[in-house]
Structure 1
Amino acid sequence: MARSSAYPLFLISSILFISHIYASQVEAKPPVVKGLSYSFYSKTCPKLESIVRKHLKKVFKDDNGQAPALLRIFFHDCFVQGCDGSLLLDGSPSERDQPANGGIRTEALQTIDDIRAIIHKECGRIVSCADITVLAARDSVFLTGGPDYAVPLGRRDGLSFSTSGTSDLPKPFNTTGVTLDAFAAKNFDVTDVVALSGAHTFGRAHCGTFFNRLSPLDPNMDKTLAKQLQSTCPDANSGNTVNLDIRTPTVFDNKYYLDLMNRQGVFTSDQDLLNDKRTKGLVNAFALNQTLFFEKFVDATIKLSQLDVLTGNQGEIRGKCNVVNARKSLLTSVVEEVVQLVDQF
């Protein structure tokens, strides 16, 4: 009897929480950073977005694992020193060689540069690798079942990368308090954090990123899931991977939050969202209302896509995404900048 009466109470409280979110967080969409625009390439490269989407449809048909990989590249690029394509750059060592970027797929990096080549052939070298990364992440969400949404464009590519900045990236073994602090430093609120965590509704994780929950066994983990993970990951150094979402591992939906409600989250940082009073209500709300999750995910992603962007005369438009352009004379650079500005009007 106690079990049957508890569910309606949970449902009622969750519905009230959803209503509270709608009532208390009615606000304008994230503002557009100066220098970016939703119509930035409307005249200079009108086919840009259709080129990206068409190419990714072909890629995902053969390798749907690139969708979460592209979204991860976007997040890890933007969170370190802004959305400037720094993660794409080669180096000795490079930004992506750092432990926090372990598992970045070379195939996904190549896909970004392949799209860059198609776009530059169609429109000339006017679209940055940073913008292409943002568009690829957006279409990775949409083409796997998630929301479709517009993103402001006009970013320039950075001239350097950061190896030390990767320490700022949220870690899979962090508790909710540590995760919230990491995001707060970038001006993200609690709703943003829980919504962005929903990116783990697809993709896979290496054993070492969650083995801390298997040895010793985390009492907050569903025992059936624990047995499956222990079977796949006999030790932290195993090269095996597991799905982050056990229900719909290749679909972008809200099932990740149902996983958490059933103690089936893989990372500490995921499952602990249900244990913290600041985030538990949002987990329940997003589990019950996919539309709400999509709305908040889009808002948080647009904010993320505008972190510390380079615009105008800053940075450059790379000819290849993995290397900075050869330096030119000051006169040549000024002439190119003037031509690009004229083309936009």
Structure 2
Amino acid sequence: MARSCAYPLHCLFLFSSILFTAQMHASQTEGKAPLVKGLSYSFYSKTCPKLETIVRNHLKKVFKNDNGQAPALLRIFFHDCFVQGCDGSVLLDGSPGERDQPANGGIRSEALETIDDLRALVHKECGRIVSCADITVLAARDAVSLTGGPDFAVPLGRRDGVSFSTSGTRDLPKPFNTTGATLDAFAAKSFDATDVVALSGAHTYGRAHCSTFFNRLSPLDPNMDKTLAKQLQSTCPNADSGNTANLDIRTPTVFDNKYYLDLMNRQGVFTSDQDLFSDKRTKGLVNAFAVNQTLFFEKFVDAVVRLSQLDVLTGNQGEIRAKCNVVNSKKSVLEEVVQFVYQF
């Protein structure tokens, strides 16, 4: 005999979320995302078999001392891939460079240094055969898996770009966008609403500068939880205060699905986050991920693996940088050719 429900509205929400989840599973095929030609899940299995162990062990030490680098590394990965593909262009110094554009404001210098530290460790072990682009992808993966998120394989074999794009940063989704603008930005890269809501879950940890959400404090957004609004107003007396606030008020240093509970309780910080729970195209996905962390992890991994393959350079395209922040000199290029020939 079926049990009665003490809280009808809650049961209705739970049932609708479960039904939505089942429909998602039924409508999508299982398996890894298809690979771009030139990438492989075993690309360095013979030439640098300790690669992933080196990266993970070093990041364990880094995160133990500075857990804020985990979301910073994930952000670097996203901002690199979304602009002109996963080619390490955001790592390059410029005057100004891609990294100096407003959309890339707040990228932590410590996280950039960590990527180059990883590059030095890997090149010492294996020679200059692993790109900074691949190291950035591995660092982002471990920034998720070492903080409570899913562990997953990422395809490797990217080469580093020899240029950067300043104008391309205009395409990055903005924190004050409504859902329509966010969906359009991702659709241009062939990502759908499920991808958008899953990738937005990266805001389940990390911090944001006042300038990125002050638009919701002055004037006060009526769609923001009042307690959260008071906290943020205390932290941010003005847009340029230089202070920061947690993006997830529940578990700000853990990669989990609590971000979606925030949205359901009007506790999202960015306009682009909270509006996902208001738009009918994305509200059901927020509900589904809030009650099913496994589903969130599955969709996040799928979207990240496809994102990591955007417009990659492979084969003899680009280069393997000797340092992640500068393009190789002609001498370094010659050394790379010799190293490449030596491998075979």
* Equivalent residue, structure 1, for 2:255: 252
1:111-260 to 2 correspondence within 5 Å? Answer: 111-260=114-263
How far apart are the structure 2 equivalents of 1:329 and 1:268?
Answer: 45
Alpha carbons of structure 1 residues 66 and 278: separation in structure 2 relative to 1, 3 Å:
same
Alpha carbons of structure 1 residues 67 and 127: separation in structure 2 relative to 1, 3 Å:
same
* Equivalent residue, structure 1, for 2:266: 263
Contact 2:128 2:336 in 1 (8 A): no
Q: Which letter maps to 1:248?
A: T
1:1-345 to 2 correspondence within 5 Å? Answer: 4-328=7-331, 335-340=338-343, 342=344
SS in structure 1 opposite 2:208?
Answer: strand
Q: Which letter maps to 1:96?
A: R
Q: Which letter maps to 1:77?
A: D
State the 1:39 CA deviation: 0.3
What TM-score does the superposition give when structure 1 sets the normalisation length? 0.96
SS in structure 2 opposite 1:205?
Answer: strand
Contact 1:313 1:337 in 2 (8 A): no
What TM-score does the superposition give when structure 2 sets the normalisation length? 0.96
Q: Which letter maps to 2:232?
A: L
Q: Which runs of 5 or more residues in structure 1 are unaligned?
A: none
Pairwise CA RMSD of aligned residues? 1.5
Task: For residues 219-276 of structure 1, give each alpha carbon's deviation from its aligned partner in whole angstroms, at most 9, with x where no partner exists.
Answer: 1100100000001001111100000000000000000000000000000000000011
Stretches of 4+ aligned residues off by more than 6 angstroms: 329-333
State the 1:25 CA deviation: 1.5
Q: Which runs of 5 or more residues in structure 2 are unaligned?
A: 1-5
State the 1:332 CA deviation: 6.7
How far apart are the structure 2 equivalents of 1:196 and 1:298?
Answer: 9
How far apart are the structure 2 equivalents of 1:53 and 1:28?
Answer: 25
How far apart are the structure 2 equivalents of 1:163 and 1:330?
Answer: 25
Q: Percent identity?
A: 84
How far apart are the structure 2 equivalents of 1:81 and 1:331?
Answer: 26
SS in structure 1 opposite 2:330?
Answer: coil
Alpha carbons of structure 1 residues 329 and 137: separation in structure 2 relative to 1, 3 Å:
closer
Contact 2:322 2:332 in 1 (8 A): no
SS in structure 1 opposite 2:310?
Answer: coil
How far apart are the structure 2 equivalents of 1:42 and 1:164?
Answer: 37
State the 1:334 CA deviation: 5.2
How far apart are the structure 2 equivalents of 1:295 and 1:332?
Answer: 41
State the 1:6 CA deviation: 1.3
How far apart are the structure 1 equivalents of 2:54 and 2:162?
Answer: 26
How far apart are the structure 1 equivalents of 2:63 and 2:183?
Answer: 33
How far apart are the structure 2 equivalents of 1:156 and 1:329?
Answer: 15
How far apart are the structure 1 equivalents of 2:76 and 2:128?
Answer: 22
Contact 1:86 1:162 in 2 (8 A): yes
